[in-house]
Amino acid sequence: MEVWIGRDGERHGPYSDGDIRQWLRSGQVSRDDLGWYEGLADWQPLSVLFPDEVANATPPSFAATPVSSVLPQTTAATLEDYAGFWKRVAAYILDAIILYIPNLLIQKMMGGDAAEAAMKQAQLAAPADPHVMFAALMQYYHVMTPALLIITVITWLYFAICESSAWQGTVGKLALSIRVTDMQGGRISFARALGRYPAKYLSALIFGVGFLMAGWTQRKQALHDLVVSTLVLNGRASNFKPGQPTPGRGDNSFSA
């Protein structure tokens, strides 16, 4: 079970219930700190959520460093500040412009101009014949398949590398001050970022509805976000520096 700790209007965590039990016993967290986990109707003092541990807690005079100085700086405000649909669209347009030049160069180097000219010539020879037009189009894509594959791989790696980097976003997202995170607001892995881009094809296949979902879902997630469990939040990653974890503990834990 994952539990959030609330203090001074901020939400920290989530932490495992096992860690919280240990911190209650050692006096690292206060019995009066508020806690909440999924399914709980409202925030409750930790003394109510873990009464058995509070009974064995270290007396206040022997308590360790005050918890307020060591809790990670992840708050409800930042985790729920979802990037809007149009902001995401603007970021994607900027990325498309950035990728346009290298993609255009690849097409030209691999015979794109000649293939396009041949397609237009075939279509002009029999403009009323749909079979000729279809055959010309298929011939164009047959010639350009290697170039299109290279462009697809470059675009895929661009999104995956940028979104899994310390930036947590592409150049377009940086310009719009938004970032891609996991469900806890953390940096996503390269593997998850690799999966996020092809998941966009699912969003496109249903007539773009998967992209539009970012406009009405609770956490403003598009279909591909739901598939790989990611969020797109406002703010650059550099503005949200988490507290330093204690050696041997996970990123969501804090020290004595």
156 plus 115 within the same structural domain:
yes
| Sequence letter at residue 203 | S
116 plus 234 within the same structural domain:
yes
138 plus 171 within the same structural domain:
yes
93 plus 67 within the same structural domain:
no
User: Does residue 78 sit within a domain?
Assistant: no
> Which tops the pLDDT comparison, 162 or 21?
162
User: Does residue 46 sit within a domain?
Assistant: yes
11 plus 109 within the same structural domain:
no
Question: What local confidence, expressed as pLDDT, does residue 184 receive?
Answer: 78
Q: What is the pTM for the complete model shown? A: 0.61
128 plus 165 within the same structural domain:
yes
pLDDT band at 247 (very low <50, low <70, confident <90, very high): very low
91 plus 17 within the same structural domain:
no
Q: Which residue among 10, 41, 73 closes a domain?
A: 73
pLDDT band at 251 (very low <50, low <70, confident <90, very high): very low
Q: What are phi and psi of 190, to 5 degrees?
A: -65, -35
Domain of residue 47 covers: 2-73
pLDDT digits (tens, 9 = 90+) for 155-190: 999 999 999 999 999 999 999 999 999 887 888 999
- 256 in helix, strand or coil? coil
Question: What local confidence, expressed as pLDDT, does residue 250 receive?
Answer: 38
Q: Which residue is associated with the tokens 């058995």?
A: 52
Question: What local confidence, expressed as pLDDT, does residue 243 receive?
Answer: 38
User: Does residue 251 sit within a domain?
Assistant: no
pLDDT at residue 240 is higher than 80: no
> Which tops the pLDDT comparison, 66 or 13?
13
Over range 25-48, report the average pLDDT: 83
53 plus 91 within the same structural domain:
no
Q: Which residue is associated with the tokens 């079979």?
A: 131
User: Does residue 244 sit within a domain?
Assistant: no
69 plus 90 within the same structural domain:
no
Question: What local confidence, expressed as pLDDT, does residue 255 receive?
Answer: 29
Structure tokens, 113: 């101009």
pLDDT at residue 149 is higher than 80: yes
Question: What local confidence, expressed as pLDDT, does residue 114 receive?
Answer: 76
Q: Which residue among 39, 73, 107 closes a domain?
A: 73
pLDDT band at 61 (very low <50, low <70, confident <90, very high): very low
Structure tokens, 105: 């160069």
State the chain's maximal CA–CA distance in angstroms. Answer: 92
Q: How far apart are CA 129 and CA 4, in angstroms?
A: 66
184 plus 92 within the same structural domain:
yes
User: Does residue 180 sit within a domain?
Assistant: yes
67 plus 118 within the same structural domain:
no
Question: What local confidence, expressed as pLDDT, does residue 64 receive?
Answer: 42
Domain count of the fold of the chain: 2
CA distances from 78 to 74, 205, 219 (A): 7, 32, 12
User: Does residue 250 sit within a domain?
Assistant: no
Q: How far apart are CA 22 and CA 128, in angstroms?
A: 78
Q: How far apart are CA 209 and CA 215, in angstroms?
A: 10
Structure tokens, 213: 């979902």
User: Does residue 167 sit within a domain?
Assistant: yes
User: Does residue 129 sit within a domain?
Assistant: yes
Q: How far apart are CA 241 and CA 235, in angstroms?
A: 12
pLDDT band at 121 (very low <50, low <70, confident <90, very high): confident
With beta carbons less than 8 A apart as the criterion, state whether 169 and 193 touch: no
Exposed, middle or buried, 42 (CB in 10 Å: 0-12/13-18/19+)?
exposed
Please name every residue paired with 231 in a beta bridge, in sequence order, or none if there are none.
181
Q: How far apart are CA 206 and CA 215, in angstroms?
A: 16
